[in-house]
Structure 1
């Protein structure tokens, strides 16, 4: 028999273990959201460390599988109490610094269409940052709520090995490798070339990704691999196709604010890695004869193989056509394996990464039967969903809390024109299910303004504009009389008009030259020129196209001067309410000073008014125009 003292001692031990079990720190949830837990909100005790995860590719020419640099920030209870938590993961090419802004870094846009511009400058990035911290983003927001935050530098940036390929497969496979490591399927090491392994013993194997712009592209890239464990992604203003970023319907078109940028410019901008010497051991992807005898380092190797070979041969600034190079950097083409839930976020007035980038992915994911949601606001680049919305998505898919988000009747949230970002209006879907296509036709009026009407009448004639890139789009829209654009406006609206969806236009035109830019703006008039005016006060949406690609964006053909062609294309998606008393204006012009190439002024575009029409998705249809 046990002695009394021994029995009491055993009881004390059991009681102590029960108390400790009760004191184990756990996430707390309220109203379907993870709450800040004081025991997690202790930055001075957070465990921070870094490692190098091995990928399945070699893109820096050393014959070894590339490793990407990863950092981890987690509550100390993951060490002291054996606590396992889900992960919020962000990856970026920007963490270690970017190239300086030097003269000549962008392509010269002042040349004739179809001509080659002079070679541009190639600035080198000076790498920033020290181990173990790659970034502090997301940490203060999510670690106190019971998550582990992980960052990684993209291939060829920071301390990550490999080459930056700007949208090619390794930028999908790199974050996949990190998710695989978090789920115990890939190897992590303490050093870039060492053999001491690191295990993610604190991971539940459930991962969510988020980020803005390029950092928002990478979650989608990872999700297209179908990697197990990546449960949900919240991309914010992501670039989902580099063709759609640098081209538009066959036209060489810059992203807003970066005239003359192209994919090779972005390559140089992010290439902060590859400073270590290159030791040539084994080349798997190219023949020995294709490789220069020596490179001073891996950066030089990547420049030669990626920027000066693959990109130079594939990007095609001459025709602007879509090709296999661009198809390989279009994530819409890679979505079949995707399983992660998707909450997209974008601004309707983002003229850098334009709103079509999110809509095209949201639409496809919805068709695939994935859990989807979309949040749009009326501002520019960036802008995450409200923290409460993000929290509910992460809480449901990563902590497994049944908060009903997958059953909500509204799949779209739109920040209305005068609302705050955290107060969007819910709709059943985007585009608004009550939107109906309404077709508008043109009546003459050049060089002033013609009419935009739902009534179609024949024999409206033809009108001609003369290209001149020196006038901005705003200046053309505000001009009372000018020969450098054609403008067609509706009567003053008797009541507000809600546009929701993707406008489409067909322009029947002839050019007096074999090539010409074609630009279209949809504007709200009169122009609000006050200092406090928002972009949404005037610009409804825009679009650009190359008339040479009237048959296909993969094949262009020189225009026969004087011959008319039908050019049909989508404008950027929008959801905007145009106030009563305003007029909707369709402006057709050639070179767009802020976006297109700048050929010598003088090209003439003649528009056949009878063959040109605009289709707008209007909530309530044509009846709402009365």
Structure 2
């Protein structure tokens, strides 16, 4: 950070701070006019020509910053969704004046933080909205960070134009975003781009292989993968060779390879501090993404903080709005303005243990007692297993139907005498044979018993919109700071799938190389289920489901395998950690 912190007057001017009148932590204050803020676009050169049009690709970076002679840090959200799909609970899109000047900046970051002495930059991933090039998301974000630090060129037009510099920027950047935007932030941190001080990934992907291939089993047919749905009309045509090259490098057989290794960010988390949010009910970006990344951050000694809920693919802004904004404010103040507000010394984890019941913890996962359960042919789940179970693969049947006993083997334990908390990343060992040279495996851990739960089972968000709005920052006629309030969307359920995992049995020996199965031969495969933090009430039963293709996850365009699986239950088990509930 290049603010002149040595002089109190300069500190107050640059950061928008109020002098401390008490022992309260220092914080930036809203002293700059939002209405008068400078709104502009810089088209930043990436140094590459992915669309092969003979010109260096340019990333459209829409900027809003205080209209004052100050240097400010930047909150950056790099997204492919500003034109095609929108951002946030209300699917806001960017809007522009007739002359192209940005008007609406989606989400509340600009409304809230610009008056407090930050710039907000919303950048279009290559080939989307007003950017040229193709979908190279990390490269797109890094180009903007490089421009903000004087290492890349930018212009005031998508082609040609006059040079634009970022002399107003301190060079300190925080990357934020949900889903794909969060994945981009994680990738940028992994790249080590200088100037990126912190990231805030919300339901973001850290391991692209695990997101698109389930332990050797591709989740979608090749024609239904890729980024073309986000492209502008120009890129949709010019980027066909780029997309074909990416698909060729990824492969279609489910093997882990050098391409997947290059977009696996967990082994190299970088050094930027991380405030991360994840819902344990998220089936879009499953919580195993969070768990592996969180562990890697801890091993690397990266400053980290987590917001963990029982919701689905949902921004914390729509769960605990006031608390999230306060936390985000303090986080950016600490890592972008250098204010010693102690946020990094507060409890590292804010956890929703059960719907709307939150607690603060020093770490995650908690210390637990390891438990291993095994299924038996009579339908029991306990310390020992025996017998076999046969399942005919039916890709039209979902894991929720499995839980009712359709097209899956179902096993349940005895009613629990007291509530228990299952937390961490369960693992399953499956021994099975197939009557065909191929087979997919599907496994789920289930809490059987009536409860009011967030509505997430069928990719729900776990929230519902209200008719009221609350305001977070300043507004203009073109960009409101007022957003729909939300409430918890609860449903009464007789069961809840709390963790699940999938695999291709042909990859039993290695994810790097699958092999055809010998029909009738038993193979053993161990893999991790989705992470969880779930309280099982007293009287409920734990269940284990063993199935084939999960119709709720796998693309129906994939070829049907038509196999029948036979599970050796004595050599099949699920392991997880138990502890006492926080509440």
Q: Please state which band the TM-score falls in when normalised by the shorter chain.
A: 0.7 to 0.9
The corresponding residue for 1:436 is 369
1:66 pairs with 2:57: yes
Q: Secondary structure at the match of 2:570?
A: coil
8 Å CA contact 1:128–1:158 kept in 2: the answer is no
Which of 123, 141, 144 aligns to 2:112? It is 141
Deviations 1:456-482 (A, max 9, x none): 36xx22222222233332223124xx5
Seen in structure 2, the aligned counterparts of structure 1 residues 136 and 472 have a Cα distance that, compared at 3 Å, is: closer
The corresponding residue for 2:546 is 588
Farther-moved stretch of structure 1 (530-539 vs 245-254) = 530-539
The corresponding residue for 2:501 is 543
The corresponding residue for 2:479 is none
Q: Secondary structure at the match of 2:191?
A: coil
Question: For 1:33 and 1:576, how far apart are their aligned partners in 2?
Answer: 36
8 Å CA contact 1:246–1:263 kept in 2: the answer is no
Seen in structure 2, the aligned counterparts of structure 1 residues 27 and 64 have a Cα distance that, compared at 3 Å, is: same
8 Å CA contact 1:509–1:565 kept in 2: the answer is yes
Farther-moved stretch of structure 1 (501-510 vs 55-64) = 55-64
The corresponding residue for 1:399 is 337
The corresponding residue for 1:16 is none
The corresponding residue for 1:341 is 273
Shift in Å at residue 527 of structure 1?
A: 5.9
Structure 1: gaps (5+ residues): 1-19, 100-126, 165-169, 255-259, 276-297
The corresponding residue for 1:92 is 79
Deviations 1:558-588 (A, max 9, x none): 1111111111100001111111111010011
Q: Secondary structure at the match of 1:474?
A: helix
Question: For 1:243 and 1:22, how far apart are their aligned partners in 2?
Answer: 45
Question: For 2:170 and 2:223, how far apart are their aligned partners in 1?
Answer: 37
The corresponding residue for 1:412 is 349
Shift in Å at residue 528 of structure 1?
A: 5.8
Q: TM-score, normalised by structure 1?
A: 0.77
Deviations 1:439-494 (A, max 9, x none): 1122221xxxx11113x36xx22222222233332223124xx5x21111110011
Which of 51, 55, 78 aligns to 2:46? It is 55
Equivalent residue runs for 1:126-525 within 5 Å:
131-133=100-102, 135-137=105-107, 138-164=109-135, 170-194=136-160, 196-253=162-219, 265-272=225-232, 275=234, 299-303=236-240, 305-307=241-243, 309-317=244-252, 319-332=253-266, 334-335=268-269, 338-384=270-316, 386-408=324-346, 410-419=347-356, 424-432=358-366, 434-445=367-378, 450-454=379-383, 456=384, 460-479=386-405, 484-525=407-448
The corresponding residue for 2:461 is none
8 Å CA contact 1:210–1:216 kept in 2: the answer is yes
8 Å CA contact 2:431–2:572 kept in 1: the answer is yes
8 Å CA contact 1:34–1:145 kept in 2: the answer is no
Seen in structure 2, the aligned counterparts of structure 1 residues 22 and 220 have a Cα distance that, compared at 3 Å, is: closer
Alignment length (residue pairs): 517
Shift in Å at residue 193 of structure 1?
A: 2.9
Question: For 1:199 and 1:504, how far apart are their aligned partners in 2?
Answer: 51
Shift in Å at residue 25 of structure 1?
A: 7.6
| Pair member with larger Rg | 1
Which of 521, 527, 537 aligns to 1:569? It is 527
1:555 pairs with 2:513: yes
8 Å CA contact 2:291–2:425 kept in 1: the answer is no
The corresponding residue for 1:613 is 573
8 Å CA contact 1:98–1:271 kept in 2: the answer is no
1:44 pairs with 2:35: yes
Seen in structure 2, the aligned counterparts of structure 1 residues 144 and 60 have a Cα distance that, compared at 3 Å, is: same
Deviations 1:322-368 (A, max 9, x none): 22232233223554xx2211111111111011112222222212211
8 Å CA contact 1:436–1:620 kept in 2: the answer is no
Question: For 1:72 and 1:263, how far apart are their aligned partners in 2?
Answer: 36
Deviations 1:414-451 (A, max 9, x none): 1121226xxx322222111x213211122221xxxx11
Question: For 2:223 and 2:70, how far apart are their aligned partners in 1?
Answer: 43
Question: For 2:204 and 2:25, how far apart are their aligned partners in 1?
Answer: 27
The corresponding residue for 1:283 is none
Structure 2: gaps (5+ residues): 1-8, 87-93, 318-323, 456-489
Question: For 2:112 and 2:291, how far apart are their aligned partners in 1?
Answer: 27
Question: For 1:519 and 1:403, how far apart are their aligned partners in 2?
Answer: 46
Q: Secondary structure at the match of 1:197?
A: coil
Shift in Å at residue 404 of structure 1?
A: 1.5
The corresponding residue for 1:83 is 70
Seen in structure 2, the aligned counterparts of structure 1 residues 49 and 616 have a Cα distance that, compared at 3 Å, is: same
Seen in structure 2, the aligned counterparts of structure 1 residues 129 and 269 have a Cα distance that, compared at 3 Å, is: farther
Question: For 2:540 and 2:580, how far apart are their aligned partners in 1?
Answer: 18
Seen in structure 2, the aligned counterparts of structure 1 residues 534 and 206 have a Cα distance that, compared at 3 Å, is: farther
Deviations 1:203-226 (A, max 9, x none): 222211111111111211222221
The corresponding residue for 2:27 is 34
Question: For 1:369 and 1:537, how far apart are their aligned partners in 2?
Answer: 39
8 Å CA contact 1:88–1:210 kept in 2: the answer is yes
8 Å CA contact 1:350–1:381 kept in 2: the answer is yes
Question: For 1:229 and 1:26, how far apart are their aligned partners in 2?
Answer: 18
Provide the alpha-carbon RMSD of the alignment: 2.9
Q: Secondary structure at the match of 1:224?
A: helix
Q: Secondary structure at the match of 2:567?
A: strand
